[in-house]
């Protein structure tokens, strides 16, 4: 049998979904977030409680669309008003929280800066705009790097 790393991503996703369905001890979470670009030169990042720079994101609340959640989370975590330009894709990953295994899917949107000065909320340690090249260096998570590359490919959509 092939190693999981060699399987196409769609097959791996199906295996992951099957594993989750068979395992009642895995909790599902859904979040949404944004890659906010300012004047095609800077990108908004937050420093999470683990001191890692990432994109603002958070749980999708009951009755909320992915888009509404993404805009709300950007505003709540950073004090920045933004406008959705396009959908970038999703990332999914496992983590353990309080002894419970969680499988989380995060939906990301390309956003255009509208207004505001970055002010971190109580949920994050810092929030600020970085030049694009500096932001690339700051990102540590593989999923964030992939989403950022997709955002950069769609920069022409920003007016």
Q: pLDDT for 33-90, tens place per residue?
A: 999 999 999 999 999 999 999 999 999 999 999 999 999 999 999 999 999 999 999 9
The answer, yes or no, to whether residue 114 has pLDDT greater than 60, is yes
Predicted pLDDT of residue 97: 85
Alpha helices in 23-159 (DSSP H): 66-78, 132-138, 142-153
Q: pLDDT class for 18, splitting at 50, 70, 90? A: low
Q: What is the rounded CA–CA span in Å between residue 122 and residue 129?
A: 18
Predicted pLDDT of residue 3: 47
The answer, yes or no, to whether residue 23 has pLDDT greater than 70, is no
pTM of the model: 0.83
Angle at the Cα of 146 from the Cα atoms of 140 and 148, rounded to 5 degrees: 85
Tokens encoding 98: 């309080």
Give just the sign of the alpha carbon dihedral 14, 54, 88, 79.
positive
Tokens encoding 114: 């509208």
Q: Which fold has domain 30-157?
A: Nucleoside Triphosphate Pyrophosphohydrolase (3.90.79)
Per the CB < 8 A criterion, the answer to whether 155 and 135 are in contact is no
Q: In the predicted model, what is the mean pLDDT of residues 93-112?
A: 94
Tokens encoding 109: 């949107």
Whole-number CA gyration radius for the chain: 16
The answer, yes or no, to whether residue 6 has pLDDT greater than 90, is no
Q: Determine the number of helices (DSSP H) and then strands (DSSP E) in the chain.
A: 4, 7
* Percent of the chain clearing pLDDT 70 (strictly above): 85
More confident residue, 74 or 21: 74
Q: pLDDT class for 1, splitting at 50, 70, 90? A: very low
Predicted pLDDT of residue 98: 87
């Amino acid at each position: 049998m092939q190693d999981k790393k060699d399987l196409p991503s769609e097959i791996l996703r199906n295996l992951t979904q099957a594993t989750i369905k068979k395992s009642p001890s895995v909790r599902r979470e859904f979040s949404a977030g944004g890659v906010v670009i300012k004047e095609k030169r800077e990108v908004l990042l937050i420093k999470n409680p683990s001191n890692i720079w990432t994109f603002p994101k958070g749980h999708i609340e009951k009755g909320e669309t992915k888009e509404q959640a993404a805009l709300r989370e950007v505003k709540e975590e950073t004090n920045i008003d933004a406008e959705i330009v396009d959908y970038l894709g999703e990332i999914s990953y496992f983590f353990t929280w309080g002894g419970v295994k969680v499988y989380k899917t995060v939906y990301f949107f390309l956003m255009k800066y509208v207004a505001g000065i970055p002010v971190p909320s109580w949920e994050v340690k810092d929030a600020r705009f970085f030049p694009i090249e500096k932001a690339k260096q700051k990102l540590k998570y593989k999923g964030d790097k992939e989403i950022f590359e997709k955002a950069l490919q769609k920069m022409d959509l920003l007016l």
